[in-house]
Amino acid sequence: MAHARQGTPQLGTEGDGDGQCGQQSADDEALEEQYVDPGHLRVTPSEMAGILSQDGRCRQLKFLETLSDGRVVHRVGLARRPPAGAQGLMAAHMRAGAVVLAAILVAAACARRPATPVVAGAIPEGLDAFLAAHPLAPGQPVRAEAIGRSVAASWHIVQVATAEPPHRHRLHDLSVFVLRGEGILTLDGRRIPMRAGDAALIPRDHPHWFVRGGSGPAVTLAVFSPPLDAPDIVPEPAS
């Protein structure tokens, strides 16, 4: 019977996959089936896709042919789907790739973060240079240095080598920002772990103290409001 090939590929091109099939072997490429439209009408691609999905093999419509008697023949290439184990392996590789990408993004964000905190507007020489010029003396538990003031507040760099004694400030509200190191702040009897990047807001007349943790001195920025003009430390019994 003579065949007259007409039309163009409808569901992909000959030899190409549809994104879901595994690579075809030589045996698979040799397998073809014909679906004949009994009504002599050309079916739509969506209707043909429904027919092709009815068995477990991944099918691809290669081209359409019209026979001499007017019947439409759909020539189909067959390919076996990847086994379940291979599909699981591919999914595992995709998940692993996503984890690696997330790790790279986190590392890049950390790399952009400055190693030394910046205290803008107060210590232009930088924190490391300031600490080198104002070192803790041997055996000194705490050292505080004023670095600026305004009509509303004063700012201080506080280094804690060991621990503060329990105390409260009768006339000043206090804000503390941890710049380096870590430790435990006890505020109103509650122990609060703190590390670089944390902050504490301490109203006046609230008992508190800080005990250094880790291997090196903790460094904080302390803000007193109103400005601290004279010592305002009232000792408190340890709880």
Identify which of 131, 138, 165, 154 has the alpha carbon closest to the alpha carbon of residue 222: 154
Region for 141 from its dihedrals, namely left if φ exceeds 0, alpha if ψ lies in -120 to 50, beta otherwise: alpha
- Whether 10 shows a pLDDT value over 50: the answer reads no
The helix/strand/coil state of 189 is coil
- Whether 151 shows a pLDDT value over 70: the answer reads yes
- Whether 166 shows a pLDDT value over 60: the answer reads yes
In this prediction, residue 5 carries a pLDDT of 45
| Chain-centre distance for alpha carbon 86 | 29
Question: Kindly report the CA angle at 184 between 180 and 190, in degrees rounded to 5?
Answer: 140
Phi then psi for residue 99, to 5 deg, are -65, -45
Task: Please say whether the beta carbons of 65 and 75 come within 8 A.
Answer: yes
In this prediction, residue 219 carries a pLDDT of 97
9 or 97, greater pLDDT = 97
Task: Please say whether the beta carbons of 224 and 154 come within 8 A.
Answer: yes
pLDDT tens, residue by residue, 172-228: 999 999 999 999 999 999 999 999 999 999 999 999 999 999 889 999 999 999 999
Task: Please say whether the beta carbons of 142 and 161 come within 8 A.
Answer: yes
In this prediction, residue 32 carries a pLDDT of 47
In this prediction, residue 54 carries a pLDDT of 57
What is the bridge-based pairing of β-strands 190-195 and 218-225? unpaired
pLDDT tens, residue by residue, 71-88: 766 665 555 555 666 666
Domain ranges of the chain: 3-79, 127-235
In this prediction, residue 178 carries a pLDDT of 97
Task: Assign domain 127-235 to a CATH class.
Answer: mainly beta
117 or 37, greater pLDDT = 117
CA–CA gap between residue 195 and residue 188 (Å, rounded)? 19
CA–CA gap between residue 134 and residue 119 (Å, rounded)? 16
Phi then psi for residue 58, to 5 deg, are -85, 120
Cα–Cα distances (Å) from 27 to 31, 32, 39, 45, 113, in that order, read: 7, 10, 32, 26, 57
Give the chain's largest Cα–Cα span: 110
- Whether 96 shows a pLDDT value over 80: the answer reads no
In this prediction, residue 17 carries a pLDDT of 44
In this prediction, residue 43 carries a pLDDT of 54
- Residue 6 CB neighbours (<10 A): 11
What is the percent of the chain where pLDDT is above 70? Answer: 57
In this prediction, residue 8 carries a pLDDT of 45
Take residue 186 and report the two structure tokens written for it: 């006890």
